[in-house]
Structure 1
């Protein structure tokens, strides 16, 4: 690892106007942590917990799911725009990850249950990650219910999901939200494969990613809250991603 790597990352994330939690691994070994066990509101990162619960339970991914319009919500996703009312569980999961579809996510949560997802998290000894409400549930949010995770646990969830094979991994390589950590080098032809999942909300921006180049990898979980200027935090994600990509290629 470059002697300048940690110094560059540290200089980027310290003395910022918002909260930051960060965990970086190189080839599976932790090389840097910064408030990595702090709990943040998860936004869409909670979808990683839902995905892993479904996969861990070995549910039939071809099971047909009747879409209930009562779970239709806005925000990210295309399912709310489509007329089809029966989808396979696999298709809903693919939409949940690749397009961060909130409607699809709520349909999956309804199928498996909030309590069941939390029981899986407890079984896996997660203490910072909790599913307490449906996505885009304004009433629940106003009542003080929210979903939570940490940099360390969100990275564990990504690793766990990628361990379920190529089909699942393809949902992450086809992730549509790639404007944070990988934005400055994605699709540049540099040979880096990107697996990632973002989260967004009011003053919330997260990205959990794995970058693979040749036989090496860098994994990054970066969670943020409280930045008043969103362009500032998006630029920060871009800069952290560039430093990580450069380190990866130089390994």
Structure 2
């Protein structure tokens, strides 16, 4: 694409990154989301949110790239400098943080697999009932404390795990649906003795939550021939995560 000064002047510096590179589309997408979050902060009545609104609004407005041509003649963007707001709920900063964690996890996983070749991997989703958005903070505290109780039980025999918190919108369009995604490394003996049935998972998670209903729990084993890295995008698409190199065998 022609990126001459004349073109930039003609477009009044309003070129989008997606006009320069296909990879720029994701930047434009997250910047648009950040603009909405900034407006939500600006409309909030709580003190201090105006400062967040300004920071998110100006997040990543300064980006410096090297333009690299690949073998097919397509322009690739290589980020060299940026100004991020680092507000926790900024979509741009969350996305960048997610990329950082994905890179770190994908870097160390091959060594873990090499060190523990006979261990198996489980993808676990733990849920609880939807909550009002105003109760989200206390509900997140509950689900994290409940998970801590779970890991302290004798039934939890995993060598290590990666945990992320995901919050989606409830089907009613108003409530919040917080839940946990966990990639856990099970010992070789898990499927012969120590296996946890679906009913046992539900019962144990209910006890840890200390609730009077049966929560939804989903557990699936990653096939032996599959690379656990295939689950990483699902676990780390949201950025509130914990990595625990467990010490149990």
| Structure having greater relative contact order (Cα 8 Å, sep ≥ 6) | 1
Under a length normalisation based on structure 2, what TM-score does the superposition of the two structures give? 0.24
